[in-house]
Amino acid sequence: MSTYKVLGLMSGTSLDGLDMAYCHFIEENGRWKFSIERIKEVSYTNEMREYLKNAIFLSEEDHAQLHKDYGIWLGEQSKHFIDEENLEVDFISSHGHTSHHRPEDGFTFQLGDGQLLANTSKKQVVCDFRTKDVTLGGQGAPLVPIGDKLLFREYDFCLNLGGISNISFDDTGVRIAYDIGLANMPLNYITQRMGLDYDENGNRARTGTLDHDLLQKLNSLAYYKLPYPKSTGYEWFTGEIVPLIQASKATNIDLLHTFIHHNCEQIANEVKKYAVKTPNKLLTTGGGALNQFFMDTLQEKLGSTATVSTPSKTLIAYKEALVFALMGVLRLKGETNVLRSVTGAREDSSSGEIFYPTTD
């Protein structure tokens, strides 16, 4: 029996902040158990959020500088957390923040220089989990399914509702996962126009009415017709969804309402396609699981096909940080942490770069 004490770091596409989860993992006879011992979210300042959001447009030089600055910032935040909570940490496992993701061009980039993170925190670091898979011809995403497989085997479907929605499940013994489509990205875009961070609980969206014309346009988007493996992100949103929002005459409230219907319809379509029994257990995590109108609409669209389980707020918000912590453990053990069945790569891989603090 081995125990691993890992600090997992995650910065998602919603740009809310840095999620830190101090986790313990125990492996016994090939079965993994976990506990999330401590958590901390560090919200981004508006300035940082804008910088990270626009990283895609930076010159090569400015992008390289941001990579370094953000690596140091991650190291400082980790060090504060470790010191204030007096944590015993074997190593840090960091996803970083995705600035570019173009797997079709063989390219993905997560900001947060691993060497500078190691030097600043004075801890060993594992990071850059997506590059190897992309060089193996994979999408480099989604990566969390390895955690669904090893840590959440009691659920038939694991759904994450972050900026976009992704799902993972077992299809005749093979783990399948892909990005279904939209989740909070359009909701945040609309609430920001209203001067709000987000629509607490979906209370505003609940009072809206459906814009059938927009719903039909959204449901006809080409992405939904692509077979898996597939992944998407901010580029798709800005290129195809934002113009539809801008062209729409619907009120913000009706837009929120319509996007939640659309998101849930797409999710339910996918679950129904792959459900082999009823009812299935569906675990929802990510910030969308805190939006009650989203959850109610999802349950309504799923009907008897699946029962929606919303776990503790800690797991909802920190599951990705937890899984990246596990991926670091697997990388250090030389075991598979990226599944080709999910990413479409030529082979499974044990992915991630390892850095040790340098003494100077």
Ligand X SMILES: Nc1ncnc2c1ncn2[C@@H]1O[C@H](COP(=O)(O)OP(=O)(O)OP(=O)(O)O)[C@@H](O)[C@H]1O
CA 341 – CA 53 distance, rounded (Å): 30
Q: How many other CB atoms are found less than 10 A from the CB of residue 37? A: 14
Secondary structure of residue 103 in the 3-state scheme:
helix
Binder of ligand X out of 96, 112, 181, 288 (CB under 6 A): 288
CB 234 to ligand AH0: min, Å: 8
Backbone angles phi, psi at 34, to 5 degrees: -135, 160
**Is position 144 an interface residue for ligand AH0 (rule: CB under 6 A)?**
yes
Partner that binds at residue 290, options ligand X, ligand AH0, none, CB closer than 5 to 8 Å by kind: ligand X
Asked whether the CA dihedral 219, 222, 223, 228 is positive or negative, the reply is positive
- Side chain identity at 225, as an amino acid letter? K
Kindly tell me which of 19 and 348 has the beta carbon lying closer to ligand X: 19
Partner that binds at residue 300, options ligand X, ligand AH0, none, CB closer than 5 to 8 Å by kind: none
Nearest by Cα to 160 from 265, 6, 282: 282
**Is position 101 an interface residue for ligand AH0 (rule: CB under 6 A)?**
yes
Q: Treating both helix axes as pointing N-terminal to C-terminal, what angle do 184-193 and 252-274 enclose, rounded to 10 degrees?
A: 180
Asked whether the CA dihedral 180, 21, 15, 357 is positive or negative, the reply is negative
**Is position 268 an interface residue for ligand AH0 (rule: CB under 6 A)?**
no
Window 6-35: residues binding ligand X (CB under 6 A):
12-14, 16
**Is position 330 an interface residue for ligand AH0 (rule: CB under 6 A)?**
no
Binder of ligand AH0 out of 39, 52, 82, 164 (CB under 6 A): 164
Partner that binds at residue 286, options ligand AH0, ligand X, none, CB closer than 5 to 8 Å by kind: ligand X
Secondary structure of residue 179 in the 3-state scheme:
strand
Asked whether the CA dihedral 27, 342, 110, 232 is positive or negative, the reply is negative
Binding residues vs ligand AH0 (CB under 6 A): 12-13, 98, 101, 108, 141-144, 162-164, 166, 179, 231, 233, 320
Binding residues vs ligand X (CB under 6 A): 12-14, 16, 160, 162-164, 184, 187-188, 198-202, 286-288, 290-291, 320
